[in-house]
Structure 1
């Protein structure tokens, strides 16, 4: 089973309160918290970058564990945000940190909001096979630059942030429990149309809205809850226990409505479910590890506790994985 050896976060600048954002955008006072539940979020400055934020988080995670780059066997960059399409972000992260003398492998894992979980799944496969002993996973998200100011629902919901985790093998001698599924009827319910070969950025005849993130939130929520009961039943059957049996449930923070429906539908105690949407907003793949970081570092979740990380992603994908902290 995977064991969390260290975790640290990086948040760009001071928090932006919803009242401040409403005043700046000319929106009605109180609209954001009423509709999205987000009280504060962080937006990167013009000098911040995906790689720069990730490097800050990784440096902190290594220092926390008294480790250096020579102690790593693999670096995974697991996020939906990028600074450049080519090269991949993991190698840029090594370069940013000045690790040019270290040749351990580095590559990216992108499953939008589930990227961190899929990164953990990749790490578990390598570690439990005995190929690697210690893996760093960095998730750095900067959605604020891809949001349309005219789309009040998305512009007020998302935030920026980065998290780095160092994982290794637990003393619990069993495989890491993982379960991931995809329902392709939701493939285009959340997307950023421009930027790939289907819609090149230099084709300026494209509609302006296609250069920003687009999400059909209610359609996504409806599709999620169409499949959620079966997904949770499959997770519990495969993992051999109820989701209520874990020390903490750390879900993706997609929306307040989605979180409220999830907790109510499965009768979960409020204190067992990690809630950080009001504090950070939806930080894409960084939402889940931000919750994990807060539970471990700020709230002092006891060492040896087993947690379950779970969520949804554009696609529509769902996933869950367990971890010992």
Structure 2
């Protein structure tokens, strides 16, 4: 298919690499079970588990926003990295506190980082990978020595409560990492990135109204158009194809093979998508980290939440080679590789 796809090398021209040195995550306390969803929609716990692999998800209480989750996860990542300062904060989110201004400066201020550069990145479920590449670029260019990258989303705030498909899939959460300038040869150094997009399929994953295109018309927004929509079958196929292709592309750039990867940590969209990527790559599914059963699809928070869960459980261990990958609206996709560092998740 014709699509934009570039393989971006790191470290930068000066030899400086971005090294992952801190990791943290946080989810809101409220747990929404399959049984609770089934009690008000035409579905069942068995149907949701069979179709998605999800048993439960966490959602925000009224009055809680994306920035609240981002602050908690960011603070934990700073504690993990044993630092209290960064030069930049990159927040990957599709559910900002407001359309304007960006949410990142508020997060930075509340964390006591108000003098650092701060901005949002919106690549939907690929947002964290785009954020990592952005942070690595700041370090490679010499703009920053330390960067906090946060993936945070509260998709429960943009879902149609009467849609069983989206209500059953998405949860809320946040995950964060601290990157520092270092050597490309040390554990935690991010390898090459593969990033791509295909805007021809932008309407497969979207919120139809609320933006300038709809607001510039004289026609009122249709009822329900403020909610998130997704063409499930088409997204399913494209997610598998693009994440598998991106993984192969980034491994070629890194000069290693699939057999060299100890763990695959990809976007937790649906257990059948994870299994599909494993099948397309010809890799045992046991090498894929999975926590979707407990958290659902947390969009930009998905990959850092999975990293945190796997580190806490011991599934991710120092020295393992890890491939990160994601696919999201836009359409967008991305991947990178690293040797897992000896860090404690918070």
TM-score, length of structure 1 as denominator length: 0.90
Structure 1 segments of 4 or more deviating over 6 A? 201-204
Aligned-pair distance for 1:149? 2.1
Mean CA deviation greater in 116-125 or 259-268: 259-268
Query: Are residue 35 (structure 1) and residue 51 (structure 2) matched?
Result: yes
Hey, what's the Cα distance between the residues in 2 that align with 1:229 and 1:164?
24
Query: Are residue 214 (structure 1) and residue 229 (structure 2) matched?
Result: yes
Correspondent of 2:180 among 143, 150, 168: 168
Correspondent of 2:61 among 14, 22, 45: 45
Hey, what's the Cα distance between the residues in 2 that align with 1:23 and 1:266?
38
Contact 2:24–2:74 (8 Å) recurs in 1 = yes
Contact 1:36–1:153 (8 Å) recurs in 2 = no
Correspondent of 1:131 among 143, 153, 177: 143
Q: Could you say what secondary structure the match of 2:191 adopts?
A: coil
Contact 1:195–1:201 (8 Å) recurs in 2 = no
Query: Are residue 295 (structure 1) and residue 310 (structure 2) matched?
Result: yes
Tell me the equivalent position of 1:273: 288
Hey, what's the Cα distance between the residues in 1 that align with 2:68 and 2:218?
29
Query: Are residue 194 (structure 1) and residue 206 (structure 2) matched?
Result: no
Aligned-pair distance for 1:277? 1.4
Tell me the equivalent position of 2:253: 238
**Unmatched 5+ stretches in structure 2:** 1-16, 342-346
Query: Aligned residue pairs: how many?
Result: 321
Contact 1:19–1:30 (8 Å) recurs in 2 = no
Aligned-pair distance for 1:322? 1.9
TM-score, length of structure 2 as denominator length: 0.85
Hey, what's the Cα distance between the residues in 2 that align with 1:209 and 1:140?
24
Correspondent of 2:196 among 167, 181, 199: 181
Aligned-pair distance for 1:172? 3.3
Query: Are residue 146 (structure 1) and residue 158 (structure 2) matched?
Result: yes
Q: Could you say what secondary structure the match of 2:224 adopts?
A: helix
Q: Could you say what secondary structure the match of 1:46 adopts?
A: coil
Hey, what's the Cα distance between the residues in 2 that align with 1:92 and 1:243?
41
Q: 1:204 to 1:11 in 2, by over 3 A?
A: farther
Aligned-pair distance for 1:170? 4.2
Q: Could you say what secondary structure the match of 1:249 adopts?
A: strand
Contact 1:72–1:135 (8 Å) recurs in 2 = yes
Hey, what's the Cα distance between the residues in 1 that align with 2:218 and 2:318?
53
Contact 1:186–1:220 (8 Å) recurs in 2 = no
RMSD after superposition: 2.3
Aligned-pair distance for 1:226? 5.2
Contact 2:246–2:335 (8 Å) recurs in 1 = no
Hey, what's the Cα distance between the residues in 2 that align with 1:241 and 1:281?
31
Tell me the equivalent position of 1:7: 23
